[in-house]
Structure 1
């Protein structure tokens, strides 16, 4: 059996971008933090291009030059700054130097002379749109539109005179605009009532339409075309039972790839537009049976790169020939000498909850799980507007190797199962999602392999709230809890989260003005005296989303009740533990804690 450090040293290669001469750039965490690497041919030895202790968050080739734009924050604080890397001599040029602002990359112009981004430089609670020349730096960008909310740039029009701008009112309510670069005039192209999503917006080949994934007038996301003259939406591909959850479209050729989320698994369709809403498909790529995304076309759209993984295959970058579908794995991210044949895959199960609703979950047993004696980690995703999907996790594989089963529910409120499902936990229905956890534990109690006295609640971010809420609502069900960057008190969380996020989070959880008493009543901190299980609390000191005070106050309150508590705070981390050295320290402590109490 391999130790935890080996499993956490399993590498991932992802976030690919294909350069003008076919060079592949991607992110890989070989050094302990994601850095930029490049390859000129599949399977060759990659060349490391950045050498920082902080994580690189994205990379994007210029369409005309051998240079890359990339982003990096400091200590997980999410105040991303933008940089330009010369791929020939390795020189790095700062593009922005406003360290107290967040910069969201918006893409290169087609001639590579300019780039766009959104940033909250003027007011920390709102994002404006900027355009900047490639050879400028610092704060020299042109402010072309002042926003009054959360704006993001989705790309330049084919003739580089307009930008698609997305405005996020909440996770399920968005709008799209076309912004004239010279005049700053903004045209609203998605007027609507109620909550509607417009995801993955992409320019059509003639610049007269925008393609996107939307759930306007439907429960699931479908692929639609928005005519820029009439603003009418036509369906290109319906969502039916499962979401069409992403599209990458080359605006010169009309070639595209879109993904459908089928019970968490990615189904990819490759095609080429033959009319406004008509297309011809191409052969399906041969990829691991799990998740795939991050499509990047080469400049001629003859190939595209994407990252893919499964529960038994770590994340790597593949390149697909558009016409034939022939798929070549370009990267060889290491499995740290652990045989992939030893990795365990899940079973997709459905659990009946308190109201008769079926809750999907992934359940994975360790090898040779003994009857009635197998401990279980109930691992809850964050969000809550997210979904646990069958991608690779070294930590999960380690826990399985140690004899733990892993149960991963997509409780109500999760994405991937239609709009109605995502709203089943909104505001006053919040605790119904915690009841889904109880239903999952009841299901585990009936499983012949499971030891009902050794079930652990583990989760991160919103999943951390779910852990704490489960420990307070159903204290007799749990042998231990592991709370990673979780919410302990909704009131203090909303008061202290980043100003740009507060309005969005209130749309999901309830507002401080209208729902303060209710938010206090459901906060785990209010009921901390109900917790009976030992608790491990893990957090990053620089977390701008769920401030570290959430960890400090729950740990203090539970410890005052005489319950065993361990608290571990990392001074150089934010919303999650991203640096491998810290991951090893953190999860070694978690495993020791579980060994002691479970």
Structure 2
């Protein structure tokens, strides 16, 4: 770390106490509901006016993962798990009385929130209540709807469709309450979209055999269905299904058939809200990680744009308020914590609805990244974010954390990361690459690491270190591999395939062996993951050959491994076996496993312990 830092050093607890506010949803009376981790775990909060002091509504210690306001009443549904195990249960909350009612009572099953019915008396969701590896569709009465029909017993929701196996989602409830849109992801880039008739049980497939994704689905109330899709294009756009003919047409955000690979100007639409009564639309275009907001009106496939705000950062989670006069969204920027902003429809000036403080940390101490590109082994340009700490120079070069995102169908974007700012404050530089296989740059780029090309993405990480070695403000002998989930696999692969590049490594909930991972991951997601990585039946030997555990004898740098005992995605056995194997070879290794956490560490108390331990580990070895 730099000896010339002029900023005071702040403890990680200060950074982790910076509030994270997201998931806005608005009630019919215009009350904003959102999730905030002010109390240490995400809970539901509310406020009626922008900037007003918010009120906490849910009093739990376990994290709340989703919140959705009723379309007709002052009420909402929220989802909450236990010990970060992702087995969400659903609850109804009456804002007039404060009464909280459990809607489900099956803690061994996952309940995936879907949609409210248009009358506010029913909800639809999916759950694996009958078989762990199969999600079915359920419709359940809530609130006042319980007084007018059966189906409110949390132990016996009405199953309206048995799924084919694997994951299933409810995307939207029809405007007359007679049908649902459901989606079945065969892989991250191959989704089947269907209509479910609730009276007959008949399922009509809307999508064709072409590989495509469909999300952010909205009925237009006139025989059509809007969604974000990449059908027929490399990048995503707003499209409309004609429900009479099945035809899918491009509506907005289209950029022809150009590739979205780095270096082009073809970008993804990645957020969308639509109001059927007014035809108003708001969406965001992901331009190299930053958001460009678009608003307008839709009439069938005709889009008429209006003035929209110029967002300095990232906008997501769009939701309209009453009469679509205002649209609220989650906003963050490299030096601005997550909060909820809003804009009056057709206006350009944003309103900060939930002001978020910095817990006493000087805003000017936060560092923003530079977008860079570096050349990799096959001549491709890999996009990345580079952030240098204050004081780094040729005379005082900085150690570097190479922070590798998970997924792999994910994109590192310039969000506000409190732990990143913590490490920058301690003198570390941070490089965040979007290696091949990342989302955000089109389907072709995302497929470049599929199955047999898996290790090409690891080679992109080696190329990142080569790029670092050309910078005078970097100490090439103090480079850290650092990543979570699939990024944890990338860390373990990087230190076994390119062992001479690293001074230390930090693996969060990473995959050590693809075969044991696939054998033990949740049954509902195995086929989905096999589409990306390869199957146990057809590719077993190949998966063994690229697994870091098969090359663990190459590990030379000290390793820190963190995991949660309740992780349903990457089972904790992945951490146990790699720690044991590295320790047997005499390489320094530290292990931190939380018994009350899962794939993500959600308790602030645990997060503080986690990052204090990592900071001490890096101080010792880097």
Instruction: Give the structure 2 partner of residue 501 of structure 1.
Output: 525
Instruction: Give the structure 2 partner of residue 175 of structure 1.
Output: 192
Q: Report deviation, 1:360.
A: 0.4
Instruction: Give the structure 2 partner of residue 90 of structure 1.
Output: 98
Residues 125, 170 of structure 2: 8 Å contact kept: yes
Superposition map of 1:252-263 within 5 A: 252-263=277-288
Superposition map of 1:287-298 within 5 A: 287=311, 289-298=312-321
Distance in 1 of aligned mates of 2:215 and 2:209? 15
- Which is further off, 366-375 or 485-494? 366-375
Which of 107, 110, 133 is residue 102 of structure 1 equivalent to?
110
| 1:213 lines up with 2:228 in the alignment | yes
| 1:316 lines up with 2:302 in the alignment | no
Instruction: Give the structure 1 partner of residue 23 of structure 2.
Output: 15
| 1:228 lines up with 2:251 in the alignment | no
Instruction: Give the structure 2 partner of residue 59 of structure 1.
Output: 67
| 1:398 lines up with 2:406 in the alignment | no
Which of 369, 375, 384 is residue 361 of structure 1 equivalent to?
384
Superposition map of 1:28-39 within 5 A: 28-39=36-47
Q: Report deviation, 1:286.
A: 4.5
RMSD, matched Cα: 1.1
Instruction: Give the structure 1 partner of residue 409 of structure 2.
Output: 385
Aligned partner of residue 586 in structure 2, secondary structure: coil
Aligned partner of residue 131 in structure 2, secondary structure: coil
Residues 110, 160 of structure 1: 8 Å contact kept: yes
| 1:269 lines up with 2:284 in the alignment | no
Aligned partner of residue 512 in structure 1, secondary structure: coil
Distance in 1 of aligned mates of 2:89 and 2:202? 27
Which of 207, 221, 242 is residue 190 of structure 1 equivalent to?
207
Distance in 1 of aligned mates of 2:440 and 2:536? 29
Q: Deviations over 1:261-305 (max 9, x none)?
A: 1111111111111x2111222221243x22111111113211121
| 1:447 lines up with 2:434 in the alignment | no
Residues 271, 317 of structure 2: 8 Å contact kept: no
Q: Deviations over 1:156-178 (max 9, x none)?
A: 12222111111111111001111
The total of aligned residue pairs comes to 594
Moved over 6 A (4+): none
Aligned partner of residue 525 in structure 2, secondary structure: helix
Which of 474, 477, 480 is residue 501 of structure 2 equivalent to?
477
Residues 460, 484 of structure 1: 8 Å contact kept: yes
Superposition map of 1:199-598 within 5 A: 199-206=215-222, 208-237=223-252, 238-240=254-256, 241-273=266-298, 275-287=299-311, 289-371=312-394, 373-598=397-622
Instruction: Give the structure 2 partner of residue 139 of structure 1.
Output: 155
* TM-score normalised per structure 2: 0.94
Residues 205, 253 of structure 1: 8 Å contact kept: no
Distance in 1 of aligned mates of 2:243 and 2:504? 55
Q: Report deviation, 1:333.
A: 2.3
Instruction: Give the structure 2 partner of residue 79 of structure 1.
Output: 87
Superposition map of 1:32-47 within 5 A: 32-47=40-55
Instruction: Give the structure 2 partner of residue 125 of structure 1.
Output: 133
Residues 205, 254 of structure 1: 8 Å contact kept: no
Distance in 2 of aligned mates of 1:318 and 1:73? 28
Q: Deviations over 1:208-233 (max 9, x none)?
A: 11111222222111221111111111
Aligned partner of residue 130 in structure 1, secondary structure: strand
Distance in 2 of aligned mates of 1:444 and 1:75? 39
Aligned partner of residue 324 in structure 2, secondary structure: coil
Distance in 2 of aligned mates of 1:70 and 1:129? 18
Residues 292, 310 of structure 2: 8 Å contact kept: no
Distance in 1 of aligned mates of 2:89 and 2:196? 23
Q: Report deviation, 1:323.
A: 3.0
Residues 199, 246 of structure 1: 8 Å contact kept: no
Aligned partner of residue 475 in structure 2, secondary structure: strand
Distance in 1 of aligned mates of 2:20 and 2:221? 33
Q: Deviations over 1:69-99 (max 9, x none)?
A: 0000001111100001121232210011111
Residues 283, 318 of structure 2: 8 Å contact kept: no
* TM-score normalised per structure 1: 0.98
Q: Report deviation, 1:548.
A: 0.2
Distance in 2 of aligned mates of 1:172 and 1:247? 18
Q: Deviations over 1:48-68 (max 9, x none)?
A: 001111100111111221111
Q: Deviations over 1:334-375 (max 9, x none)?
A: 211112121100000001000001100000001121326210
Aligned partner of residue 38 in structure 1, secondary structure: strand
- Which is further off, 562-571 or 51-60? 51-60
Residues 158, 251 of structure 1: 8 Å contact kept: no
Distance in 1 of aligned mates of 2:100 and 2:271? 32
| 1:69 lines up with 2:70 in the alignment | no
Distance in 2 of aligned mates of 1:90 and 1:165? 32
Residues 158, 252 of structure 1: 8 Å contact kept: no
Residues 104, 118 of structure 1: 8 Å contact kept: yes
Distance in 1 of aligned mates of 2:330 and 2:233? 29
| 1:148 lines up with 2:195 in the alignment | no
| 1:6 lines up with 2:14 in the alignment | yes
Aligned partner of residue 423 in structure 1, secondary structure: helix
Aligned partner of residue 537 in structure 2, secondary structure: helix
